[in-house]
Homo-oligomer: A and B are copies of this chain.
Amino acid sequence: MPAAIGPSSPWDAVPDLLRARGMRWTPQRRTLIEVLAGIGGHLTGAELVERCRAADPTTTPSTVYRTLDVLEELGFIRHGHGADGREEFHVLPRTAHGHLHCGTCGSSWELGASEVGGLVRALRRGRGFHVDLSHVTIVGQCESCASAESRP
């Protein structure tokens, strides 16, 4: 009788992907991946460290950040920076996107390829520059903050 097959997840491939590159599958990496698999969306590095520490109190920040680097190289996550420069990680992004961030109220929105496509193509054609869309964060003022300011 064959073992039951659980629901498959993209994360299941990580151990073999690592070993195929001569890297190793360690308990610390397993902890981070379990954390990442249990959430979605955007988190800061500090939040990820915190969640790993909840799962395993012996977690060390440097190990988490180094593993995040590895997972980004493998394409499982991407990072950008908030308005203050802090790292924000996007887990398993369906499609590349940047971020729009209101410096006044702190809200943020995803910036689709359709909105930035013109700029991306212009930079590619005009300068040969390849934009890393997921690293793009546009900071400014959102509609409600701008109108609140002009009509005090």
Looking at A6-14, A35-43, A48-56, A136-144, the stretch in contact with chain B turns out to be A136-144
Looking at A17-25, A63-71, A113-121, the stretch in contact with chain B turns out to be A113-121
A128 at the interface (CB under 8 A from B): yes
The A interface is mostly helix, strand or loop, or mixed, namely mixed
In the complex, how many residues of chain A place their beta carbon closer than 8 angstroms to a beta carbon of chain B? 32
Contact B129 A135 (CB under 8 A): no
A16 at the interface (CB under 8 A from B): no
**A85-126 interface with B by 8 A CB criterion:** 85-87, 100, 102-103, 109, 115-116, 118-119, 122-123, 126
A103 contacts across to B, CB distance below 8 A: 132, 135
Contact B126 A115 (CB under 8 A): yes
Query: Could you name 29 residue pairs across A and B whose Cβ atoms are closer than 8 Å?
Result: A83-B135, A85-B85, A100-B123, A102-B129, A103-B135, A115-B119, A115-B122, A118-B118, A118-B122, A123-B138, A123-B140, A127-B142, A127-B143, A128-B142, A128-B143, A128-B146, A128-B147, A129-B138, A129-B140, A129-B142, A130-B140, A130-B141, A130-B146, A131-B138, A131-B139, A131-B140, A132-B140, A135-B140, A136-B138
Interface residues of A (CB under 8 A from B): 81, 83, 85-87, 100, 102-103, 109, 115-116, 118-119, 122-123, 126-132, 135-136, 138-143, 146-147
